[in-house]
Chain A
Amino acid sequence: MSTQAPLFRGTNLVKEFSSGSSGLLGRAKPFRAVDDVSLEVHRGETLAVVGESGSGKSTTARLVARLMDPTSGTLEFEGTDVTHAKGAALRDFRAAVQVIFQDPYSSLNPKHTVERLVTAPLVYQGRKIPGGARAFTRELMERVGLNPLHSERYASQFSGGQAQRIGIARALAVGPKLIICDEAVSALDVSVQAQVINLLRDLQADEGFGYLFIAHDLAVVRQIATRVAVMSQGAIVETGPRDEVFERPEHEYTKTLLQAVPRINPEWDRRRKKAEAARAGKEADAATAADTTEASA
């Protein structure tokens, strides 16, 4: 662990919901969605929280974003306790912590232009838009790989992958330090998903964001995480550096989870790479057009 204070630290977080029917009489045992969870996110790193449905990973994300108050436990941001932050302190926290949601269409108003969507967080926070809305939006669009000339288009005019880029641009608008990605690439087609993962990684490399990456897809997590926390029934059952968790899982549940993931036969992958290399070699040969050495494996 580094000596530097983490960007974010959650300690002994608990979230209980009153369960079911007994309602006002309130004798029913509350349901513990998050059960004594402690986690840290450092600058420039990605903590992936993985788990199946009902594991408490999304509730954890909501607690960290302060979209929901914990039943007990503390939240610290850059060393300051923000568990009960209000007013100006909460506003500062909101500017520093942004969330990217799963479904870009339902989290973006289809009748708003990109410019309006992207500048909205600043408008809500009563902040001045540096350089004016138009220029500001265009710059952000460029950063997330969208055509800046489309800033006047409506959210509904974009494809799923483009819409998710708008969601990312909106998150970037306030200059955050911690970005919570709640299943941010889960709804995307595989080719688009890969592009968005690359974008998230590039942005992190450039800006040093900390990511809290909530996901159920372990193959995606393998590509993006620095550290992994595995959740089951509200608790973290295993946590560690990515490759350690994937290659030497300790907990039974982690092992079961990893084993269940469908895999493309690695032998087929090897043969494909070979065939591709041979093909590329041939093309290169054809390009130089000098000799006709058959470079086949």
Chain B
Amino acid sequence: MSESTSTPGAVSGEGSGPLLSVRDLTVSFRTAQGPTSVVKNLEFDVPRGGALGIVGESGSGKSMTSLAILGLLPKGGTATGSVRFDGAELIGMSEREKRRVRGDRIAMIFQDPLSSLNPYYKVGTQIAEAYLSHRSGVSRKQARTVAIEAMERVHIRDAARRVDHYPHQFSGGMRQRIMIAMALSMEPDLIIADEPTTALDVTVQAQILDLLDEIRTETGAGLILITHDLAVVSEVTDQIVVMRAGETVERGAVEQVFSDPQADYTRRLLDAVPRIDDAIGVLRTTAITVPDNGRSAR
């Protein structure tokens, strides 16, 4: 493992520290063959208003990382180490406290907006419901107003009318906007987006990435973008963690890692990405072997 920039560990400890600070995060699952670690000793910081990209191929542990931060690991999974959010330790926090942080201060955006929205309820109701569950003493009418405002902020035209439409009446890109509106209505300090544009068309993807960027500059929220797409990360984030089979392969400023990668794996990964502006004879693929998803004990 190699690091190119600021060594973590030098956390200030005052309120002015990073928004999110992950140290020695390890996620393990019990399996028939004994415990398997899918994330190993992960470390990174997200400053306020900063954007961090976590990239990796399938089985790299990037999605498990986001679930561990949120305390949403599937059954049988345990997280050890430290995840400090705005100074508060999330690992080992009670379920009740965690629920207050999650959704309220940390928002999550998933790949597939259709499966995160309930087809039977109007989108406005769903945004308002999410808001009400985290804010006490708010009337339904106020929550509806919040929903409309949030939809306007993600540039859904005619929001006052669209608020009463059902998910199927929106396109994939519009549904992802609704998910972002739902996240925004809580005014989160940190947004975790897990493959938010993978299911979208390229023109829609560009719009959603612009939107995330706009939100970050306007609200000062931190962003963690989890994706398999190196080009997307290169355009959106300023720091990057490259993961492979649960291990951190490389970490640093995006420009640094892309223009002078230290790890062999990062180099080969960058070589394998097809470039739209460049047709090359043979794609260089010097035998990147992806280990069997955890099954081969390490």
Interface, chain A (partner B; CB < 8 A): 52-53, 159-160, 189-195, 197-198, 201, 216-220, 222-223, 242-243, 246, 256-269, 271-272, 275-276
Which residues of A lie under 8 Å from residue B164 when comparing CB positions? none
Contact of B283 among A160, A216, A223 (CB under 8 A): A223
CA distance A164 to B211 in the complex (A): 35
List CB contacts (< 8 Å) of B258-272 with chain A. Answer: 258-261, 267-272
Contact of A222 among B202, B276, B284 (CB under 8 A): B276
Contact of A264 among B203, B230, B284 (CB under 8 A): B230
Pair B205/A272 contact, Cβ less than 8 Å: no
Query: B10 contacts the other chain (Cβ, under 8 Å)?
Result: no
Closest to B209 in A: A262
Query: B273 contacts the other chain (Cβ, under 8 Å)?
Result: yes
Pair B274/A276 contact, Cβ less than 8 Å: no
Contact of B275 among A192, A219, A259 (CB under 8 A): A219
Closest to B197 in A: A262
- The residue in A52, A197, A258, A262 that gathers the most chain B C-beta atoms within 10 A of its C-beta is A262
- The residue in B228, B279, B288 that gathers the most chain A C-beta atoms within 10 A of its C-beta is B279
Shortest CB–CB separation between residue B260 and chain A, in angstroms? 5
Pair A271/B202 contact, Cβ less than 8 Å: no
Mark interface residues in B229-265 (1 if CB within 8 Å of A CB, else 0): 1111011000000000000000000010011110000
Pair A52/B201 contact, Cβ less than 8 Å: yes
Pair B275/A264 contact, Cβ less than 8 Å: yes
Pair A193/B276 contact, Cβ less than 8 Å: no
Pair B276/A263 contact, Cβ less than 8 Å: yes
CA distance A246 to B259 in the complex (A): 25
Shortest CB–CB separation between residue A125 and chain B, in angstroms? 34
Shortest CB–CB separation between residue B291 and chain A, in angstroms? 10
Pair A246/B276 contact, Cβ less than 8 Å: yes
Pair A219/B274 contact, Cβ less than 8 Å: yes
CA distance A101 to B197 in the complex (A): 22
Closest to A247 in B: B277
Shortest CB–CB separation between residue B267 and chain A, in angstroms? 7
Interface, chain B (partner A; CB < 8 A): 57-58, 172, 201-206, 209, 228-232, 234-235, 255, 258-261, 267-280, 282-285, 288, 290, 292
- What is the predominant secondary structure among interface residues of chain A facing chain B? helix
Pair A272/B261 contact, Cβ less than 8 Å: yes
Which residues of A lie under 8 Å from residue B269 when comparing CB positions? 190-191
Shortest CB–CB separation between residue B122 and chain A, in angstroms? 21
CA distance A223 to B234 in the complex (A): 21
Pair A263/B231 contact, Cβ less than 8 Å: yes
Pair A262/B290 contact, Cβ less than 8 Å: no
Which residues of A lie under 8 Å from residue B278 when comparing CB positions? 222
CA distance A253 to B198 in the complex (A): 21
Pair B258/A272 contact, Cβ less than 8 Å: yes
Pair A194/B283 contact, Cβ less than 8 Å: yes
Q: What are 21 sample pairs from A and B whose C-beta atoms fall under 8 A apart?
A: A52-B201, A190-B272, A190-B273, A191-B57, A191-B268, A192-B57, A192-B290, A198-B283, A219-B273, A219-B274, A223-B283, A256-B203, A261-B231, A262-B205, A262-B234, A263-B234, A264-B270, A266-B275, A272-B261, A272-B267, A275-B260
Pair B231/A264 contact, Cβ less than 8 Å: yes
Contact of A271 among B205, B209, B260, B283 (CB under 8 A): B260
CA distance A272 to B269 in the complex (A): 13
CA distance A70 to B282 in the complex (A): 37
Which residues of B lie under 8 Å from residue A198 when comparing CB positions? 282-283, 285
Which residues of A lie under 8 Å from residue B58 when comparing CB positions? 160, 189
CA distance A272 to B262 in the complex (A): 10
Pair B279/A218 contact, Cβ less than 8 Å: no
Which residues of A lie under 8 Å from residue B275 when comparing CB positions? 219, 222, 263-264, 266, 269
Pair B201/A159 contact, Cβ less than 8 Å: no
Pair B270/A272 contact, Cβ less than 8 Å: yes
Pair B202/A197 contact, Cβ less than 8 Å: no
